[in-house]
Structure 1
Amino acid sequence: EEETRRTRRAKEEAERKAREAAELARRVQAEREELERQLRRGIQPVVRPTLEEIRLAKAKVQYDDAMFHFAVAGIAGSGKSSLINALCGMNNSDPNAAPTGVNETTMEISRYVDTTHPEQFAWYDVPGSGTLGTPDWQYFNSQGLYVFDCVLVLVNNRFTVTDQAILRNCHHFQIPTFIVRSKSDQHILNLMMDMGFDSDLEDTDSREQFFNIARERYISGTRQSVKDNLATANLPDQRVYIVSKKTLFSAAQNRQPMGLIDEVELLTDLYSVAYRSGRFA
Protein backbone atom coordinates (compact mmCIF):
# COMPACT_ATOMS: atom_id res chain seq x y z
CA GLU A 1 0.00 0.00 0.00
CA GLU A 2 2.87 2.35 0.78
CA GLU A 3 4.39 1.54 -2.58
CA THR A 4 1.08 2.38 -4.24
CA ARG A 5 0.97 5.74 -2.49
CA ARG A 6 4.52 6.55 -3.57
CA THR A 7 3.70 5.61 -7.13
CA ARG A 8 0.58 7.79 -7.08
CA ARG A 9 2.47 10.75 -5.63
CA ALA A 10 5.21 10.39 -8.21
CA LYS A 11 2.63 10.27 -10.97
CA GLU A 12 0.84 13.35 -9.61
CA GLU A 13 4.17 15.22 -9.33
CA ALA A 14 5.08 14.29 -12.89
CA GLU A 15 1.67 15.43 -14.12
CA ARG A 16 2.04 18.71 -12.19
CA LYS A 17 5.44 19.40 -13.73
CA ALA A 18 4.10 18.54 -17.16
CA ARG A 19 1.23 21.02 -16.70
CA GLU A 20 3.65 23.74 -15.52
CA ALA A 21 5.93 23.10 -18.49
CA ALA A 22 2.99 23.25 -20.87
CA GLU A 23 1.79 26.50 -19.29
CA LEU A 24 5.26 28.02 -19.54
CA ALA A 25 5.50 27.02 -23.18
CA ARG A 26 2.08 28.52 -23.81
CA ARG A 27 3.07 31.83 -22.21
CA VAL A 28 6.36 31.98 -24.13
CA GLN A 29 4.53 31.30 -27.39
CA ALA A 30 1.90 33.94 -26.58
CA GLU A 31 4.60 36.51 -25.78
CA ARG A 32 6.44 35.68 -29.00
CA GLU A 33 3.25 36.05 -31.04
CA GLU A 34 2.48 39.36 -29.33
CA LEU A 35 5.99 40.67 -30.10
CA GLU A 36 5.56 39.67 -33.73
CA ARG A 37 2.18 41.44 -33.88
CA GLN A 38 3.70 44.58 -32.40
CA LEU A 39 6.57 44.53 -34.86
CA ARG A 40 4.19 44.12 -37.79
CA ARG A 41 2.27 47.16 -36.50
CA GLY A 42 5.50 49.16 -36.16
CA ILE A 43 5.45 49.14 -32.34
CA GLN A 44 8.80 48.70 -30.63
CA PRO A 45 8.21 46.27 -27.76
CA VAL A 46 9.70 46.58 -24.29
CA VAL A 47 11.50 43.32 -23.53
CA ARG A 48 12.30 42.58 -19.88
CA PRO A 49 15.73 40.95 -19.40
CA THR A 50 16.21 37.80 -17.38
CA LEU A 51 18.07 37.79 -14.06
CA GLU A 52 20.98 36.08 -15.79
CA GLU A 53 21.09 38.74 -18.50
CA ILE A 54 21.14 41.45 -15.81
CA ARG A 55 23.96 39.68 -13.97
CA LEU A 56 26.04 39.36 -17.13
CA ALA A 57 25.38 42.97 -18.18
CA LYS A 58 26.51 44.26 -14.78
CA ALA A 59 29.65 42.15 -14.91
CA LYS A 60 30.43 43.45 -18.40
CA VAL A 61 30.36 47.11 -17.30
CA GLN A 62 32.05 46.43 -13.93
CA TYR A 63 28.98 47.62 -12.04
CA ASP A 64 29.84 48.70 -8.49
CA ASP A 65 27.01 49.02 -5.95
CA ALA A 66 28.95 51.79 -4.18
CA MET A 67 29.02 54.01 -7.29
CA PHE A 68 26.48 55.72 -9.55
CA HIS A 69 26.61 54.73 -13.21
CA PHE A 70 25.78 57.14 -16.05
CA ALA A 71 25.41 55.89 -19.63
CA VAL A 72 25.60 58.26 -22.59
CA ALA A 73 23.77 56.95 -25.66
CA GLY A 74 22.55 58.25 -29.00
CA ILE A 75 23.19 58.14 -32.70
CA ALA A 76 26.69 57.90 -34.14
CA GLY A 77 28.43 61.27 -34.39
CA SER A 78 26.25 63.05 -31.83
CA GLY A 79 29.24 63.95 -29.64
CA LYS A 80 28.95 61.30 -26.92
CA SER A 81 32.68 60.87 -26.32
CA SER A 82 33.40 64.61 -26.15
CA LEU A 83 30.47 65.08 -23.75
CA ILE A 84 31.77 62.34 -21.46
CA ASN A 85 35.23 63.88 -21.46
CA ALA A 86 33.79 67.25 -20.47
CA LEU A 87 31.61 65.71 -17.74
CA CYS A 88 34.62 63.82 -16.39
CA GLY A 89 36.71 66.98 -16.32
CA MET A 90 38.99 65.90 -19.17
CA ASN A 91 40.01 67.48 -22.46
CA ASN A 92 39.76 65.33 -25.57
CA SER A 93 43.59 65.28 -25.61
CA ASP A 94 43.82 63.80 -22.11
CA PRO A 95 45.52 60.35 -22.22
CA ASN A 96 42.61 58.85 -20.25
CA ALA A 97 39.91 60.57 -22.33
CA ALA A 98 37.33 58.83 -24.49
CA PRO A 99 38.60 58.71 -28.10
CA THR A 100 36.91 61.14 -30.46
CA GLY A 101 36.85 61.53 -34.20
CA VAL A 102 34.85 62.39 -37.28
CA ASN A 103 33.61 58.82 -37.57
CA GLU A 104 32.09 56.76 -34.78
CA THR A 105 34.98 55.59 -32.60
CA THR A 106 33.01 53.65 -29.97
CA MET A 107 32.27 50.02 -30.91
CA GLU A 108 32.13 48.59 -27.37
CA ILE A 109 30.77 50.11 -24.17
CA SER A 110 33.69 51.95 -22.57
CA ARG A 111 33.95 52.88 -18.89
CA TYR A 112 35.46 56.17 -17.64
CA VAL A 113 35.95 57.38 -14.08
CA ASP A 114 34.91 60.92 -13.27
CA THR A 115 38.14 62.72 -12.30
CA THR A 116 36.21 65.18 -10.12
CA HIS A 117 34.24 62.39 -8.35
CA PRO A 118 36.42 59.27 -8.77
CA GLU A 119 34.88 57.32 -5.88
CA GLN A 120 31.28 58.13 -6.77
CA PHE A 121 30.59 58.34 -10.51
CA ALA A 122 31.37 56.10 -13.47
CA TRP A 123 30.56 57.17 -17.03
CA TYR A 124 29.95 54.89 -19.98
CA ASP A 125 30.31 55.65 -23.67
CA VAL A 126 27.73 53.49 -25.49
CA PRO A 127 28.22 52.63 -29.20
CA GLY A 128 26.09 54.80 -31.43
CA SER A 129 23.00 53.27 -32.97
CA GLY A 130 23.42 52.41 -36.61
CA THR A 131 27.00 51.18 -36.13
CA LEU A 132 26.37 47.66 -34.85
CA GLY A 133 23.80 46.18 -37.22
CA THR A 134 21.28 45.95 -34.36
CA PRO A 135 17.59 46.76 -34.99
CA ASP A 136 16.63 50.08 -33.37
CA TRP A 137 14.10 48.56 -30.99
CA GLN A 138 16.68 46.03 -29.73
CA TYR A 139 19.39 48.65 -29.08
CA PHE A 140 18.36 49.24 -25.44
CA ASN A 141 18.56 45.56 -24.50
CA SER A 142 21.53 44.67 -26.69
CA GLN A 143 23.61 47.35 -24.94
CA GLY A 144 22.38 46.35 -21.48
CA LEU A 145 21.14 49.88 -20.76
CA TYR A 146 18.72 48.46 -18.17
CA VAL A 147 21.56 48.10 -15.61
CA PHE A 148 22.54 51.78 -15.57
CA ASP A 149 21.39 54.20 -12.90
CA CYS A 150 20.86 57.09 -15.31
CA VAL A 151 20.91 57.45 -19.10
CA LEU A 152 21.77 60.58 -21.09
CA VAL A 153 20.30 60.58 -24.61
CA LEU A 154 22.11 62.83 -27.08
CA VAL A 155 19.76 64.01 -29.80
CA ASN A 156 19.94 66.03 -32.97
CA ASN A 157 17.14 68.15 -34.39
CA ARG A 158 14.84 65.16 -34.84
CA PHE A 159 14.50 62.07 -32.68
CA THR A 160 15.51 58.76 -34.19
CA VAL A 161 13.61 55.54 -33.59
CA THR A 162 16.45 54.55 -31.25
CA ASP A 163 16.11 57.77 -29.22
CA GLN A 164 12.43 57.01 -28.75
CA ALA A 165 13.12 53.39 -27.83
CA ILE A 166 15.72 54.40 -25.21
CA LEU A 167 13.40 56.95 -23.59
CA ARG A 168 10.44 54.57 -23.67
CA ASN A 169 12.41 51.70 -22.16
CA CYS A 170 13.97 53.91 -19.47
CA HIS A 171 10.49 55.14 -18.54
CA HIS A 172 9.33 51.51 -18.30
CA PHE A 173 12.31 50.51 -16.13
CA GLN A 174 12.08 53.75 -14.08
CA ILE A 175 15.61 54.81 -15.03
CA PRO A 176 16.13 58.62 -14.90
CA THR A 177 16.88 60.13 -18.31
CA PHE A 178 18.36 63.40 -19.53
CA ILE A 179 17.85 64.62 -23.08
CA VAL A 180 20.94 66.54 -24.17
CA ARG A 181 21.85 68.41 -27.34
CA SER A 182 25.56 69.08 -27.60
CA LYS A 183 27.81 70.96 -30.06
CA SER A 184 25.74 74.09 -29.43
CA ASP A 185 28.58 76.49 -30.22
CA GLN A 186 28.93 74.94 -33.69
CA HIS A 187 25.17 74.94 -34.29
CA ILE A 188 24.94 78.63 -33.33
CA LEU A 189 27.84 79.49 -35.64
CA ASN A 190 26.11 77.61 -38.47
CA LEU A 191 22.97 79.65 -37.88
CA MET A 192 25.01 82.86 -37.96
CA MET A 193 26.48 81.86 -41.31
CA ASP A 194 22.99 81.06 -42.63
CA MET A 195 21.91 84.56 -41.55
CA GLY A 196 24.69 86.09 -43.67
CA PHE A 197 27.43 86.55 -41.09
CA ASP A 198 30.93 86.90 -42.57
CA SER A 199 33.77 86.81 -40.03
CA ASP A 200 36.08 88.64 -42.45
CA LEU A 201 33.71 91.56 -42.94
CA GLU A 202 31.75 92.01 -39.72
CA ASP A 203 32.98 94.15 -36.83
CA THR A 204 32.71 93.20 -33.16
CA ASP A 205 29.33 94.87 -32.57
CA SER A 206 27.87 93.28 -35.68
CA ARG A 207 29.20 89.87 -34.67
CA GLU A 208 27.63 90.18 -31.22
CA GLN A 209 24.29 91.09 -32.78
CA PHE A 210 24.43 88.10 -35.14
CA PHE A 211 25.44 85.83 -32.25
CA ASN A 212 22.64 86.94 -29.91
CA ILE A 213 19.96 86.47 -32.55
CA ALA A 214 21.32 83.08 -33.66
CA ARG A 215 21.71 81.92 -30.06
CA GLU A 216 18.10 82.77 -29.21
CA ARG A 217 16.81 81.10 -32.37
CA TYR A 218 18.83 77.98 -31.68
CA ILE A 219 17.72 77.67 -28.05
CA SER A 220 14.03 78.29 -28.70
CA GLY A 221 14.05 76.10 -31.82
CA THR A 222 15.74 73.21 -30.02
CA ARG A 223 13.36 73.33 -27.06
CA GLN A 224 10.31 73.40 -29.33
CA SER A 225 11.70 70.62 -31.52
CA VAL A 226 12.23 68.31 -28.53
CA LYS A 227 8.77 69.12 -27.19
CA ASP A 228 7.22 68.28 -30.58
CA ASN A 229 9.27 65.09 -30.95
CA LEU A 230 8.23 63.84 -27.51
CA ALA A 231 4.57 64.56 -28.26
CA THR A 232 4.76 62.80 -31.64
CA ALA A 233 6.29 59.73 -29.98
CA ASN A 234 3.68 59.77 -27.18
CA LEU A 235 6.44 60.21 -24.59
CA PRO A 236 6.21 62.33 -21.42
CA ASP A 237 7.40 65.90 -21.80
CA GLN A 238 10.82 66.63 -20.30
CA ARG A 239 13.52 69.24 -20.49
CA VAL A 240 16.30 69.27 -23.05
CA TYR A 241 19.73 70.45 -21.85
CA ILE A 242 21.55 72.51 -24.46
CA VAL A 243 25.33 72.50 -24.00
CA SER A 244 28.71 72.81 -25.67
CA LYS A 245 31.63 70.63 -24.65
CA LYS A 246 34.02 73.53 -24.04
CA THR A 247 31.64 75.38 -21.75
CA LEU A 248 30.61 72.17 -19.99
CA PHE A 249 34.24 71.27 -19.34
CA SER A 250 34.84 74.66 -17.70
CA ALA A 251 31.67 74.35 -15.62
CA ALA A 252 32.74 70.87 -14.46
CA GLN A 253 36.01 72.47 -13.29
CA ASN A 254 34.01 74.95 -11.18
CA ARG A 255 35.01 77.84 -13.41
CA GLN A 256 32.73 80.61 -14.64
CA PRO A 257 32.80 80.18 -18.42
CA MET A 258 31.35 82.57 -20.96
CA GLY A 259 28.41 81.56 -23.12
CA LEU A 260 26.59 79.38 -20.60
CA ILE A 261 23.29 77.89 -21.70
CA ASP A 262 22.30 74.80 -19.68
CA GLU A 263 25.72 73.47 -18.65
CA VAL A 264 25.51 74.35 -14.94
CA GLU A 265 21.90 73.16 -14.69
CA LEU A 266 22.84 69.85 -16.33
CA LEU A 267 25.67 69.21 -13.88
CA THR A 268 23.52 70.24 -10.91
CA ASP A 269 20.61 68.02 -11.94
CA LEU A 270 22.85 65.04 -12.73
CA TYR A 271 24.50 65.25 -9.33
CA SER A 272 21.13 65.69 -7.64
CA VAL A 273 19.78 62.49 -9.21
CA ALA A 274 22.87 60.62 -8.06
CA TYR A 275 22.77 61.87 -4.51
CA ARG A 276 19.02 61.34 -4.18
CA SER A 277 19.57 57.68 -5.01
CA GLY A 278 20.69 57.14 -1.41
CA ARG A 279 23.86 55.43 -2.58
CA PHE A 280 26.17 57.85 -0.80
CA ALA A 281 26.34 58.51 2.92
Structure 2
Amino acid sequence: MAFLIPLALAGAALSVTAAKVYAHFNKPPPNPPPPPSPEVTEEIMIRSAQEKLGMDIVNHYNIAICGGSGSGKSSFINCIRGVADVELSSAFIYIDTGSAPSGINETTQAPACYRWPNNELPYLSLWDLPGGGTQKHPAETYFEDKTLYAFDCLLLLKAGRFTSLDVQIFKKAVEYKMPIAVVMTKADQDINNRTKTKARELGRKLTKDEYKSLIEETIRMLKNNAKEELISAGCAEPTLNAMFVVSAISYRDEKMNLLDDNDCPSLETEKVFLTCCNITVYRRNTA
Protein backbone atom coordinates (compact mmCIF):
# COMPACT_ATOMS: atom_id res chain seq x y z
CA MET A 1 0.00 0.00 0.00
CA ALA A 2 1.24 3.51 -0.61
CA PHE A 3 1.03 7.25 0.18
CA LEU A 4 2.32 10.67 -0.49
CA ILE A 5 3.94 13.90 0.59
CA PRO A 6 1.95 17.17 0.47
CA LEU A 7 4.10 19.08 -1.96
CA ALA A 8 2.03 22.25 -1.70
CA LEU A 9 3.22 22.77 1.89
CA ALA A 10 5.88 25.31 2.78
CA GLY A 11 8.80 26.10 0.54
CA ALA A 12 11.25 23.42 1.58
CA ALA A 13 13.35 21.70 -1.07
CA LEU A 14 11.92 18.40 -2.26
CA SER A 15 13.52 15.23 -0.94
CA VAL A 16 14.46 12.49 -3.40
CA THR A 17 11.33 10.55 -2.46
CA ALA A 18 9.09 13.61 -2.74
CA ALA A 19 10.54 14.41 -6.16
CA LYS A 20 9.62 10.92 -7.36
CA VAL A 21 6.08 11.36 -6.04
CA TYR A 22 5.86 14.73 -7.74
CA ALA A 23 6.92 13.16 -11.04
CA HIS A 24 4.34 10.35 -10.73
CA PHE A 25 1.34 12.59 -10.19
CA ASN A 26 2.23 15.22 -12.74
CA LYS A 27 1.42 12.83 -15.55
CA PRO A 28 -1.69 10.72 -16.16
CA PRO A 29 -1.71 7.04 -15.13
CA PRO A 30 -0.81 4.46 -17.78
CA ASN A 31 -3.86 2.23 -17.22
CA PRO A 32 -7.20 2.18 -15.39
CA PRO A 33 -7.12 0.33 -12.05
CA PRO A 34 -7.73 -3.42 -12.39
CA PRO A 35 -11.37 -4.54 -12.06
CA PRO A 36 -11.99 -6.42 -8.78
CA SER A 37 -13.61 -9.59 -10.13
CA PRO A 38 -14.82 -11.26 -13.34
CA GLU A 39 -18.35 -10.04 -12.51
CA VAL A 40 -17.20 -6.43 -12.41
CA THR A 41 -15.51 -5.80 -15.74
CA GLU A 42 -13.41 -2.75 -16.54
CA GLU A 43 -16.28 -1.30 -18.57
CA ILE A 44 -18.79 -1.76 -15.74
CA MET A 45 -16.35 -0.35 -13.18
CA ILE A 46 -15.63 2.77 -15.22
CA ARG A 47 -19.29 3.40 -16.03
CA SER A 48 -20.40 2.90 -12.40
CA ALA A 49 -17.73 5.24 -11.05
CA GLN A 50 -18.63 7.94 -13.56
CA GLU A 51 -22.39 7.62 -13.05
CA LYS A 52 -22.39 7.42 -9.25
CA LEU A 53 -19.45 9.66 -8.32
CA GLY A 54 -18.50 11.54 -11.47
CA MET A 55 -15.04 10.04 -11.00
CA ASP A 56 -12.49 9.81 -13.80
CA ILE A 57 -10.64 6.56 -13.10
CA VAL A 58 -8.93 6.45 -16.49
CA ASN A 59 -6.99 9.71 -16.42
CA HIS A 60 -6.62 10.26 -12.67
CA TYR A 61 -5.35 8.43 -9.62
CA ASN A 62 -8.13 8.32 -7.01
CA ILE A 63 -7.73 7.60 -3.31
CA ALA A 64 -10.75 7.16 -1.04
CA ILE A 65 -10.72 8.47 2.51
CA CYS A 66 -13.46 6.52 4.24
CA GLY A 67 -14.68 5.68 7.73
CA GLY A 68 -17.34 6.57 10.24
CA SER A 69 -18.53 9.96 11.37
CA GLY A 70 -16.04 11.72 13.64
CA SER A 71 -12.99 9.82 12.41
CA GLY A 72 -11.41 13.01 11.07
CA LYS A 73 -11.65 12.35 7.33
CA SER A 74 -12.10 15.96 6.23
CA SER A 75 -9.37 17.29 8.51
CA PHE A 76 -7.00 14.55 7.33
CA ILE A 77 -7.58 15.56 3.69
CA ASN A 78 -6.93 19.21 4.52
CA CYS A 79 -3.75 18.49 6.46
CA ILE A 80 -2.03 16.39 3.83
CA ARG A 81 -2.77 19.02 1.18
CA GLY A 82 -1.62 21.84 3.42
CA VAL A 83 -4.89 23.78 3.56
CA ALA A 84 -6.69 25.19 6.59
CA ASP A 85 -9.64 23.52 8.30
CA VAL A 86 -13.01 25.25 8.01
CA GLU A 87 -16.31 24.56 9.71
CA LEU A 88 -19.34 23.84 7.60
CA SER A 89 -21.69 26.82 7.43
CA SER A 90 -24.29 28.31 5.12
CA ALA A 91 -21.51 30.43 3.61
CA PHE A 92 -19.38 27.43 2.62
CA ILE A 93 -18.74 27.04 -1.11
CA TYR A 94 -17.20 23.82 -2.40
CA ILE A 95 -13.99 24.22 -4.39
CA ASP A 96 -12.05 21.09 -5.27
CA THR A 97 -8.73 22.77 -4.40
CA GLY A 98 -10.14 24.31 -1.21
CA SER A 99 -10.83 23.01 2.28
CA ALA A 100 -13.02 20.05 3.10
CA PRO A 101 -15.51 21.30 5.72
CA SER A 102 -15.45 19.70 9.15
CA GLY A 103 -17.61 19.97 12.24
CA ILE A 104 -18.96 18.24 15.34
CA ASN A 105 -21.60 16.39 13.32
CA GLU A 106 -21.13 14.45 10.08
CA THR A 107 -20.62 17.16 7.45
CA THR A 108 -19.95 15.12 4.31
CA GLN A 109 -23.30 14.15 2.84
CA ALA A 110 -22.08 13.20 -0.65
CA PRO A 111 -18.72 12.06 -2.04
CA ALA A 112 -16.49 15.06 -2.69
CA CYS A 113 -13.28 15.19 -4.71
CA TYR A 114 -10.33 17.29 -3.55
CA ARG A 115 -7.26 18.28 -5.55
CA TRP A 116 -3.95 19.87 -4.65
CA PRO A 117 -3.83 23.68 -4.62
CA ASN A 118 -2.01 25.42 -7.47
CA ASN A 119 -2.37 22.26 -9.58
CA GLU A 120 0.67 20.82 -7.81
CA LEU A 121 -0.41 17.23 -8.47
CA PRO A 122 -2.82 17.49 -11.40
CA TYR A 123 -3.55 13.78 -11.75
CA LEU A 124 -4.19 12.92 -8.11
CA SER A 125 -7.57 13.20 -6.36
CA LEU A 126 -8.54 12.51 -2.76
CA TRP A 127 -12.17 11.60 -2.14
CA ASP A 128 -13.95 12.52 1.07
CA LEU A 129 -16.71 9.94 1.46
CA PRO A 130 -19.79 10.32 3.67
CA GLY A 131 -20.03 8.24 6.82
CA GLY A 132 -22.23 5.21 6.41
CA GLY A 133 -24.44 3.08 8.61
CA THR A 134 -27.43 5.37 8.03
CA GLN A 135 -30.68 4.97 6.13
CA LYS A 136 -29.23 7.01 3.28
CA HIS A 137 -25.87 5.22 3.34
CA PRO A 138 -26.50 1.66 4.68
CA ALA A 139 -23.36 -0.17 5.79
CA GLU A 140 -24.35 -3.43 4.11
CA THR A 141 -24.29 -1.96 0.58
CA TYR A 142 -21.92 0.97 1.17
CA PHE A 143 -18.95 -0.59 -0.65
CA GLU A 144 -20.92 -1.17 -3.84
CA ASP A 145 -23.05 1.99 -3.56
CA LYS A 146 -19.95 4.21 -3.43
CA THR A 147 -18.08 2.03 -5.97
CA LEU A 148 -15.14 1.68 -3.59
CA TYR A 149 -13.81 -1.08 -5.83
CA ALA A 150 -13.03 1.55 -8.50
CA PHE A 151 -10.51 3.48 -6.36
CA ASP A 152 -6.78 2.92 -6.50
CA CYS A 153 -6.47 2.67 -2.74
CA LEU A 154 -8.67 2.90 0.37
CA LEU A 155 -7.72 4.63 3.59
CA LEU A 156 -9.99 3.53 6.40
CA LEU A 157 -9.77 6.18 9.11
CA LYS A 158 -10.43 5.11 12.68
CA ALA A 159 -10.88 7.18 15.83
CA GLY A 160 -12.06 5.03 18.72
CA ARG A 161 -13.53 1.60 18.10
CA PHE A 162 -14.37 0.20 14.67
CA THR A 163 -17.97 0.71 13.61
CA SER A 164 -20.08 -1.81 11.70
CA LEU A 165 -19.42 0.31 8.61
CA ASP A 166 -15.65 0.06 9.11
CA VAL A 167 -15.88 -3.71 9.43
CA GLN A 168 -17.99 -4.01 6.27
CA ILE A 169 -15.55 -1.85 4.30
CA PHE A 170 -12.57 -3.90 5.49
CA LYS A 171 -14.25 -7.23 4.71
CA LYS A 172 -15.33 -6.09 1.26
CA ALA A 173 -11.86 -4.72 0.47
CA VAL A 174 -10.34 -8.10 1.28
CA GLU A 175 -13.04 -9.85 -0.77
CA TYR A 176 -12.45 -7.56 -3.76
CA LYS A 177 -8.65 -7.68 -3.32
CA MET A 178 -8.54 -3.91 -2.88
CA PRO A 179 -5.53 -2.22 -1.23
CA ILE A 180 -6.71 -0.89 2.14
CA ALA A 181 -4.84 0.69 5.03
CA VAL A 182 -6.19 1.29 8.52
CA VAL A 183 -5.25 4.80 9.65
CA MET A 184 -5.67 5.60 13.33
CA THR A 185 -6.27 9.33 13.66
CA LYS A 186 -6.23 11.58 16.71
CA ALA A 187 -3.41 9.52 18.20
CA ASP A 188 -1.95 12.75 19.57
CA GLN A 189 -4.83 12.79 22.08
CA ASP A 190 -3.95 9.27 23.26
CA ILE A 191 -0.29 10.18 23.56
CA ASN A 192 -0.98 13.44 25.41
CA ASN A 193 -3.28 11.66 27.87
CA ARG A 194 -0.78 8.86 28.51
CA THR A 195 2.05 11.40 28.89
CA LYS A 196 0.13 13.29 31.58
CA THR A 197 -0.74 10.07 33.38
CA LYS A 198 2.87 8.88 33.33
CA ALA A 199 4.15 12.29 34.47
CA ARG A 200 1.76 12.21 37.45
CA GLU A 201 2.98 8.73 38.34
CA LEU A 202 6.61 9.85 38.24
CA GLY A 203 5.96 13.25 39.83
CA ARG A 204 7.95 14.97 37.08
CA LYS A 205 8.06 15.60 33.35
CA LEU A 206 9.18 12.79 31.10
CA THR A 207 12.65 12.86 29.61
CA LYS A 208 13.03 12.85 25.82
CA ASP A 209 13.89 9.15 25.86
CA GLU A 210 10.90 8.35 28.09
CA TYR A 211 8.60 10.34 25.83
CA LYS A 212 9.96 8.55 22.75
CA SER A 213 9.42 5.17 24.41
CA LEU A 214 5.88 6.13 25.40
CA ILE A 215 5.09 7.10 21.79
CA GLU A 216 6.47 3.80 20.46
CA GLU A 217 4.51 1.86 23.08
CA THR A 218 1.30 3.75 22.24
CA ILE A 219 1.71 3.06 18.52
CA ARG A 220 2.18 -0.67 19.20
CA MET A 221 -0.81 -0.72 21.54
CA LEU A 222 -3.13 1.06 19.08
CA LYS A 223 -2.15 -1.24 16.22
CA ASN A 224 -2.51 -4.42 18.27
CA ASN A 225 -5.89 -3.29 19.61
CA ALA A 226 -7.11 -2.52 16.08
CA LYS A 227 -5.89 -5.89 14.85
CA GLU A 228 -7.71 -7.73 17.64
CA GLU A 229 -10.89 -5.73 17.00
CA LEU A 230 -10.95 -6.73 13.33
CA ILE A 231 -10.26 -10.38 14.10
CA SER A 232 -13.02 -10.39 16.74
CA ALA A 233 -15.39 -8.94 14.13
CA GLY A 234 -14.71 -11.86 11.80
CA CYS A 235 -12.29 -10.10 9.47
CA ALA A 236 -9.21 -11.65 7.93
CA GLU A 237 -6.16 -10.99 10.07
CA PRO A 238 -4.64 -7.66 8.98
CA THR A 239 -0.91 -7.14 8.75
CA LEU A 240 0.58 -4.52 11.03
CA ASN A 241 2.44 -2.91 8.11
CA ALA A 242 -0.98 -1.97 6.66
CA MET A 243 -1.82 -0.04 9.83
CA PHE A 244 -0.66 3.48 10.57
CA VAL A 245 -0.90 5.74 13.60
CA VAL A 246 -0.95 9.40 12.60
CA SER A 247 -1.25 12.96 13.77
CA ALA A 248 -2.07 14.76 10.52
CA ILE A 249 -2.40 18.16 12.20
CA SER A 250 1.14 17.89 13.55
CA TYR A 251 2.30 16.89 10.07
CA ARG A 252 0.83 20.04 8.54
CA ASP A 253 2.20 22.20 11.37
CA GLU A 254 5.64 20.63 11.02
CA LYS A 255 5.79 21.36 7.29
CA MET A 256 4.75 24.95 7.97
CA ASN A 257 7.26 25.34 10.83
CA LEU A 258 4.43 25.80 13.33
CA LEU A 259 5.06 22.70 15.44
CA ASP A 260 6.04 23.52 19.03
CA ASP A 261 8.47 21.42 21.07
CA ASN A 262 5.62 20.35 23.34
CA ASP A 263 3.38 19.21 20.46
CA CYS A 264 2.99 15.58 19.54
CA PRO A 265 5.07 14.65 16.47
CA SER A 266 3.39 13.64 13.22
CA LEU A 267 4.05 9.93 13.97
CA GLU A 268 3.49 7.75 10.88
CA THR A 269 1.70 10.37 8.77
CA GLU A 270 4.44 10.67 6.16
CA LYS A 271 4.91 6.89 6.14
CA VAL A 272 1.28 6.32 5.21
CA PHE A 273 1.57 8.87 2.40
CA LEU A 274 4.58 7.14 0.91
CA THR A 275 3.05 3.69 1.27
CA CYS A 276 -0.16 4.74 -0.47
CA CYS A 277 1.75 6.38 -3.30
CA ASN A 278 3.77 3.24 -4.00
CA ILE A 279 0.79 0.88 -4.22
CA THR A 280 -1.28 3.34 -6.26
CA VAL A 281 1.36 3.76 -8.93
CA TYR A 282 2.31 0.06 -8.87
CA ARG A 283 -1.26 -1.09 -9.51
CA ARG A 284 -1.64 1.20 -12.51
CA ASN A 285 1.69 0.18 -14.00
CA THR A 286 0.88 -3.53 -13.69
CA ALA A 287 -2.84 -3.40 -14.55
Shared fold per TM-score greater than 0.5: yes
Are 1:70 and 2:73 an aligned pair? no
The answer to which of 95-104 and 71-80 deviates more is 95-104
CA displacement 1:108-155 (0-9 Å, x = unmatched): 101101337431210000001235543322121222212211110012
The aligned residue for residue 115 of structure 2 is 113
Give % identity: 24
The answer to which of 256-265 and 97-106 deviates more is 256-265
The aligned residue for residue 225 of structure 1 is 225
Q: Which of 140, 144, 156 is matched with 1:141 structurally? A: 144
The aligned residue for residue 186 of structure 2 is 183
The aligned residue for residue 172 of structure 2 is 169
**Aligned residues, how many?**
229
CA displacement 1:79-132 (0-9 Å, x = unmatched): 000111122232215981100111111011011013374312100000012355
The aligned residue for residue 156 of structure 2 is 153
Query: Match of 1:219, as an amino acid?
Result: I
Contact 1:167/1:177 (<8 A) preserved: yes
Greater Rg over alpha carbons, structure: 1
Going from structure 1 to structure 2, the CA distance change for 1:278 and 1:64 (only over 3 Å counts) comes to closer
Q: Distance in 2 between matches of 1:279 and 1:97?
A: 31
The aligned residue for residue 30 of structure 1 is none
Contact 2:84/2:99 (<8 A) preserved: yes
Report the TM-score when normalising by structure 2: 0.67
The aligned residue for residue 5 of structure 1 is none
Going from structure 1 to structure 2, the CA distance change for 1:55 and 1:76 (only over 3 Å counts) comes to same
Going from structure 1 to structure 2, the CA distance change for 1:119 and 1:165 (only over 3 Å counts) comes to same
Going from structure 1 to structure 2, the CA distance change for 1:256 and 1:266 (only over 3 Å counts) comes to farther
The aligned residue for residue 215 of structure 1 is 215
Q: How far does residue 196 in structure 1 lie from its aligned partner after superposition? A: 6.5
Q: How far does residue 67 in structure 1 lie from its aligned partner after superposition? A: 1.3
Report the TM-score when normalising by structure 1: 0.69
Contact 2:70/2:104 (<8 A) preserved: yes
The aligned residue for residue 237 of structure 1 is 238
Contact 2:251/2:265 (<8 A) preserved: no
Query: Unaligned stretches of 5+ in structure 2?
Result: 1-36, 88-94
SS of residue paired to 2:102: coil
Query: Match of 2:281, as an amino acid?
Result: Y
Query: Match of 1:127, as an amino acid?
Result: P
The answer to which of 264-273 and 49-58 deviates more is 49-58
Q: How far does residue 275 in structure 1 lie from its aligned partner after superposition? A: 2.0
Q: Distance in 2 between matches of 1:149 and 1:180?
A: 16
Q: How far does residue 191 in structure 1 lie from its aligned partner after superposition? A: 2.8
Query: Unaligned stretches of 5+ in structure 1?
Result: 1-45
Q: Distance in 2 between matches of 1:276 and 1:254?
A: 30
Contact 1:188/1:218 (<8 A) preserved: yes
Q: Distance in 2 between matches of 1:85 and 1:114?
A: 10
